[in-house]
Structure 1
Amino acid sequence: MSGPGRRSKVATAIETHDLDGIGAELESRWSREQDRWSLRRLADYFNAELLEQMLREAGGTTVEIDPADLYDRVQSDDRTTRTEAERLLERAGVDVDALRSEFVSYQAIRTYLRSHRGAEPPTDDGPTVDDAVGTIRRLDGRLTSVARDRLSNLDDLAVASPRVLTSIRVYCDDCGARLDLDALDDGACNCFDDSN
C-alpha cells in the first residue's frame, strides 16, 4: 500500500529479519475495538520481538531473560542496568549498535500502520493517551530547559554544575496508585484491577 519514496523502517525490519505475521498482529492490536493497544505499547512490543529475533540470528549464547524484560533493560535510564543488558547481548553475539539503530518509535509504528497497511484506529473521538503524553513530554522538556538556563545564569548559586531533573507522575486519589507517564499507555490504576 505504500507509495513511492522511502520505505518504512518497520517494513524494512520485518522483511530483513523475517518477522512474518507481526504486521498483521500490530494492525489487529491497534485497530480492534476492545483492549486496543497504544502506539507506544506496539513499538515496545515490536522492539522486543526484533531483539528476540536478532538473538536467534546471532546464534550465540542462550539468554535466559524474557525478551520484553531484556528490551526494558536495554532502554533503561539506569546506566548500570543498561550496560549489563548490553554486555549480555554482546556475549550472545548481538551487535548492540545495530540493534539500537533498528529500534522503532511509536511514530514509525503509526506511519507503518497507516501508510503501509492502510489501517486506522476504530474511532477518533478526541485526544488519545499518546497525544496527551506527547504534549506533557514537550512541556516537561521546555520546563527543564528553562530551569537549566535560569540556574546557569545565577552568579550566587552554590552549585558548580547544576543539572535539572524533572519527574512527572500521575496519582490516583482513590487507590493511591502512582504511574509514570510511560505506564499510562499500558495499564490502569488498582481501581480497574480485574480481581476486584
Structure 2
Amino acid sequence: MQVRLRDVRTMAQSDAKSVEGDRDPSCKLDRVIDEYELDRVAENLQEYWTRENERYSLRGLADHVNQAILRTAMEREGLNPLDGEVENTYRLLTDDEVSQGVRTQAHSRLDRGGVDVDAIGGDFVSYQTVNRHLKECLGVERASTERSDSDRIDSGAQRIAALRNRTVAVTENTLDQLGSTGAIALGDPDVYVDITVTCADCGTHATVQELIDEGGCECEPIDEDS
C-alpha cells in the first residue's frame, strides 16, 4: 500500500527547516520574490499584516504569496489563467479536504501545460517563513493582542492538522498490516480524515478548518469583561 501524504502541502511546511545555499532560512521569501519577480506582492505584505481593517493572518499571507508563485509559473508557460483559476488550482493542490484523485488531476493538468508542480511546491512558503521575514528581515511588529490572537489561531490549526495527519498515518499502517497478514481482504485504500464541528447553540455545521478560517460560528463572541 502506498502512503500518499507527501505532496505539495507538505513541501510548504518543510521550508521552515530548509536552508537555501548560504542564506539564512528567513531569507527564503527574498529568494522566491526575486525568482518569481514578486516585488509588488512583497511591497504589500507589511500593509496586509498591519493595517487596521481586513488584516491578513500569517497563513493568509503565505497563501497570498504561494498563489502569486503559482500564477507566475502558469503565465511563464503561456497558460494565461482565467479569473479565479489560480486560487482554485492552489486550493486543489494544498487543501486537506480535496480528495487525492482530484489533486492528482490538478497536478496532471499543470504537468501537461509545462508547469513543474514539484518545483513550485518546493518554493511555496509556510506561515513560519512569512513570520520570520516580517519580523527578522523587515523588523515589522503589530499590536501584541492582534499578534497573540493570530499566533494562537495558527498554532491551533497546526496542532489539529498534525493530529489529522497522524490519524491517517496510523490508520494506513494498521490496515496495511491487517491486509498483509490476510486478516482482512484489502486492495489499495485511500484514507481520509474529515473533522467537522456542529455548534449546539446556533446550528453551524462546518469543517474545523472552515470554522477557523471564518473566525468561528454565528454565535456572538464572549465578552471577557462581563
Q: Provide TM-score, normalisation by structure 2.
A: 0.66
Unpaired runs of at least 5, structure 1: none
Deviation at 1:139, TM superposition (A): 4.1
Greater CA drift, 181-190 or 161-170: 161-170
185, 200, 225: which one aligns with 1:173 = 200
CA offsets 1:151-194 (integer angstroms, 9 cap, x no match) = 8888x9954569875432233333322333332443245627xx
Please, which of 43, 61, 76 is the counterpart of residue 79 of structure 2? 61
Residue in structure 1 matched with residue 92 of structure 2 by the alignment: 73
Query: C-alpha displacement at 1:42, in angstroms?
Result: 1.5
What are the ranges of 5 or more consecutive residues in structure 2 without an aligned counterpart? 1-21, 220-226
Once the 2 structures are TM-superposed, how far is the Cα of residue 144 of structure 1 from its aligned partner? 5.6
Does the aligned pair in 2 maintain the 1:177–1:190 contact within 8 Å? yes
Following the alignment from structure 1 to structure 2, what is the Cα–Cα distance between the partners of residues 83 and 164? 15
State the alpha-carbon separation in 1 of the partners of residues 182 and 114 from structure 2.
48
Kept in 1: contact 2:71–2:81 (CA 8 A): no
% of aligned pairs identical?
A: 31
Whether the 8 Å CA contact 1:73–1:85 is kept in 2: the answer is yes
Contact kept in structure 2, 1:129 and 1:184, CA below 8 Å? no
The answer to whether 1:187 aligns with 2:211 is: no
Deviation at 1:107, TM superposition (A): 1.3
Query: CA contact under 8 A between 1:151 and 1:157: conserved in structure 2?
Result: no
Question: Quick one: which amino acid aligns to residue 160 of structure 2?
Answer: I
Match of 1:12 in 2: 31
- Relative to its length, the structure with more helix (as a share) is 2
Residues 59, 126 of structure 2: 8 Å contact kept? yes
Query: What are the equivalent positions in structure 2 for 1:112-127 lying under 5 Å apart?
Result: 112-124=133-145, 125=148
Number of positions where the alignment pairs a residue of Structure 1 with one of Structure 2: 188
Structure-2 change in CA distance of 1:98 and 1:65 (3 Å) = farther
Aligned equivalent of 2:161: 137
Query: Is the Cα–Cα contact under 8 Å of residues 30 and 38 in structure 1 kept in the other structure?
Result: yes
Residue type at the aligned position of 1:118: G
